[in-house]
Structures are given as C-alpha cells and as structure tokens.
Amino acid sequence: MVSAIHYFPKGFLWGTATSSHQVEGDNTNNDWWAWEQEPGRIFQDHKSGKACDWWGGRWQDDFDRAAEGGQRAHRLSIEWSRIEPTQALWDDDALDHYREMIQGALKRGLTPMVTLHHFTNPIWVAERGGWLNPEIVAYFERYVRKVVSALGDLVELWVTINEPNVLACQSYFQGEWPPGEKRLNLVSKVNRHLVRAHAAAYHAIHEIRADSLVGLAHHYRGFRPANPANPLHRRVAKMKHTAFNDVFPRACQEGRIRFLFWRDRIDEARRTQDFFGLNYYTVERSSFNLFRPMSAFEAGAFAPDADLSPCGFIANEPSGLWDAIRWAMAYKMPIFITENGAEDENDQFRARYLATHVFKVWRAVNLNWPIRGYFHWSLIDNFEWEHGWSQRFGLWGVNPGTQERTKRPSAEFYAEICKQNGLSTEMVETYAPQVMDEMFSPRGPAELKIEG
C-alpha cells in the first residue's frame, strides 16, 4: 500500500463539543437536576453530581488537552439556570465565569462555538410550563440578550438551540426526559415555541452583534426502508424522516412549520440560519408496523449486519452522514458538523467510527461542499442524560468519582487528524486497520463507483 493522505482545506475547524449540564457539575437549579433525583428516571439512578467538575475549574486542564490534541475549536453551552437563577434576576458572577472560560478557550487557540440552550431549563421556567408555555419565547429572548451582550465581543459562532427535534420528542412524546409527557399534540405545540424562540434569539443576536453567525444544531437520524422493495417500508421511512428531520430546518428557512398534520406560519423564522449545524450519529431501518400508530406506523431497528457500538446504541453507518450532508446542502449555507461520535468505554469501536465518518466529510469537502468544521462528541466522558454514566462518549475517559482523566487511543488518532488537517494511510493503519480498504482502496470509494 502506498502512503496517501486525504487533506482538508486550510482553516478547516477541528474541535469537540460538550454541554453545560453534562460537564459542569452542581447544576442544581435546572429541571434535569430535579429529574435525576426521581427514582427510576436515570439508568441505575445515576446523578450528574459534580459531572466533570468544569464549574470547579477543571475546564482548564480539559481545554489544555483539547489544544494539545491539535483542536482549534470547542463547542460549549451556557447554562440558563446559572445566568438567571430566578426570573429576571441575573447572576453576573456566572457570566464572568463563562467569560473566563471563553477567554481561556481563545487563549489556547480554540474558537468558541456557544450553544444557548442544550436541553435544560431553569426550575422557574419549568414551573411556568417550560416549552409548553408561549411565554418561554420572551423569557428565552431576554436571557439570550443578556448573554450575548456580556459575551458577544468574544464569540462569533452561536447555536441557539441544540437538537430541538430530540428535545421535543424525548420530553413530550417519549416521556423519557423532563417533564415526562407522552402526547403527540404537545409536540406540535412545543415545536412551535422552539421555532419562535430560535427566531427571537436569531434576531436578538444580530441586533447586538451584526456579524455573528447563528444557527441551530439539527439532529439528523437516517431512516431507510428495512426492505426497499416494500412500498410500506419506504413510506414509513419517508414519513419518519419528514416528521423528525425536516421540521426545524424547513421552518427556519420558510417561516412555515409542518409537523405531521399540523401547519403553522411563523414569519419571523424565515431565513434565520447563517450556517447549518448538523449532529449525526446513526441510521435505522424502518418497517411498517400496524401496532405503532403513534410512531407514524414505523418500527425502527439497526440493520441486522450492522457494526454496533458496545451499548448497541449506535450503528456505524458513515453513509448516513453522507446522506445527512446532502440533505443539509439543500439549505444552501455553510455547514458545521456540530456533533458526531460514539459511546465506547474500551475504545474498541470509536476509531473506525471516527475514521469512516471523517472520511465522508473529506469526500464532501472535495466536492467543494461548504463544510467548515467538525466537532467530535465529545472531548471527555460526561453525564449522558437518561443513560447516566453508562455511555462513555469521550476521547478521554473520566472517572466521575475521582475526576481522573484517561487518554483513549482515539484521542491520539483525533489529534493526528487535527494536526495534519487530514487522514492518512498511516493513521488508519495504526488506529483503524479494519476500515483501510473503505477509504484507501485503489478501486475508490463506493459512492464514486461508475455503473455499467
């Protein structure tokens, strides 16, 4: 095998992503903390507790780890409940703390991308009905104004809301997240408020700092027909894609929200993205199931021969990232991969997942598709919502009891990718030899095959 390297464009932004509740610790004043105290909500009743102790200052060493690993960006989130612990009462010390963190990132050469809402609400917001209360739009806008006025001189890249489709679905349909509701009609209501809150935040941020770049982090999940020859499978896969993936990006493009049979106009949401944030993890195979009317008659499963992550949570389907990028391309704006990664405590799976996904990104940038950066989820293990500490997404391991960090081989691999600004045969041979053929085969990658 000759040695070769797939280079990325100069200035491509390599980074990792985290979120406040998952890494900071002691976020006692939000709905997630309260949820964790209820028995049976979280895997084995795990708690976020001190998490990765970023609020206690350990972000400094972790940012060092990121910077030493060649990363040039970090996506972090601001915890609303710290900034506004009770309604309209602002905590300036908390704002200073974030200022220090963001300056710390910049000092280390890490461009900050700041998420303003990553799943958690302050208790006072939850008590007023959370995302079901239309007033949340004004509450959120006021909080965003406060944050952007305080930090806007340091931050150019903003994500208003992380994965609104996942939030609406998990919290108001699956009932697995606070407030634990299971009603589809609530999802349609919450969708509307999320779109309106995003739009209000978008306009507010631009008012405060005109040259900001503002987007959402959209979660794309692939839905492919389990049997492509079966029209019912094809139909449910398409419906699921439309109901889950399309709603938010379309609403923020067209100012119209279409969710199943609900329709609404939200004019102020038209063209409210400067970039497309794309979170991608996996693909499922959809089949028609008459007993799942509430799930659009779709039953999802991973492909029978899928290469699964250790907890069986993610199938390694890099072609799904390719589909996701093509789908995002329709919105005609720069794209950031704002999350991509896998849970894998023993690091047996992550390297080949990373290699094959980064390879798809490389294919896309080679077609001159405007992908500006890639943020791996995550820098370090952290509190993984309802799965507690059972799912380890970090390039670095964290022992939440002792706060000890352990470098996984994938951290070395990712560091080489970031430093070289590319993916080489040597790297893949060292860290993920199983997938060598997929990306350096003399026959070329599958999607370029010429038929006939």
H helix and E strand count, the chain: 16, 15
By CB under 6 A, tell whether 385 contacts ligand FCB: yes
Omega within 30 of 0 (cis) for the link into 3: no
By CB under 6 A, tell whether 24 contacts ligand FCB: no
- Please report how close the Cβ of residue 47 comes to ligand FCB at its closest, in angstroms: 16
By CB under 6 A, tell whether 166 contacts ligand FCB: yes
Q: Which of 295, 288, 296 is nearest to 230 (CA)?
A: 288
By CB under 6 A, tell whether 393 contacts ligand FCB: yes
223 to 262: interface string for ligand FCB, x by CB under 6 A: ----------------------------------------
Q: Which of 75, 76, 92, 80 is nearest to 31 (CA)?
A: 80
By CB under 6 A, tell whether 80 contacts ligand FCB: no
How is residue 246 written in tokens? 């399309």
Which residues ranging from 143 to 162 are in contact with ligand FCB (CB under 6 A)? 162
* CB 119, CB 80: distance < 8 Å: no
Q: Which is nearer to ligand FCB, 345 or 384 (CB)?
A: 384
Q: Which is nearer to ligand FCB, 233 or 392 (CB)?
A: 392
Q: Which is nearer to ligand FCB, 266 or 278 (CB)?
A: 278
- Please report how close the Cβ of residue 392 comes to ligand FCB at its closest, in angstroms: 10
- Please report how close the Cβ of residue 393 comes to ligand FCB at its closest, in angstroms: 5
User: Distance between CA atoms of 284 and 300, rounded to whole angstroms?
Assistant: 6
Binds ligand FCB by CB under 6 A, chosen from 65, 74, 218, 219 = 219
Helix (H) or strand (E) holding 96: helix 92-107
- Please report how close the Cβ of residue 184 comes to ligand FCB at its closest, in angstroms: 21
User: Distance between CA atoms of 12 and 365, rounded to whole angstroms?
Assistant: 10
Binds ligand FCB by CB under 6 A, chosen from 6, 12, 19, 345 = 19
Binds ligand FCB by CB under 6 A, chosen from 53, 323, 384, 416 = 384
Q: Which is nearer to ligand FCB, 36 or 339 (CB)?
A: 339
- Please report how close the Cβ of residue 321 comes to ligand FCB at its closest, in angstroms: 14
By CB under 6 A, tell whether 79 contacts ligand FCB: no
For residue 175, give the 3-state DSSP assignment: coil
DSSP 308: B
Q: Which is nearer to ligand FCB, 163 or 284 (CB)?
A: 163
Q: Which is nearer to ligand FCB, 223 or 377 (CB)?
A: 377
* CB 417, CB 432: distance < 8 Å: no
Q: Which of 119, 137, 240 is nearest to 177 (CA)?
A: 119
Q: Which of 74, 78, 102 is nearest to 90 (CA)?
A: 78
Name residue, tokens 């300036």: 92
- Among left, alpha and beta (phi > 0; psi -120 to 50; other), residue 318 is alpha
By CB under 6 A, tell whether 163 contacts ligand FCB: yes
User: Residue numbers of the site for ligand FCB (CB under 6 A)?
Assistant: 19, 162-163, 166, 219, 279, 339, 377, 384-385, 393
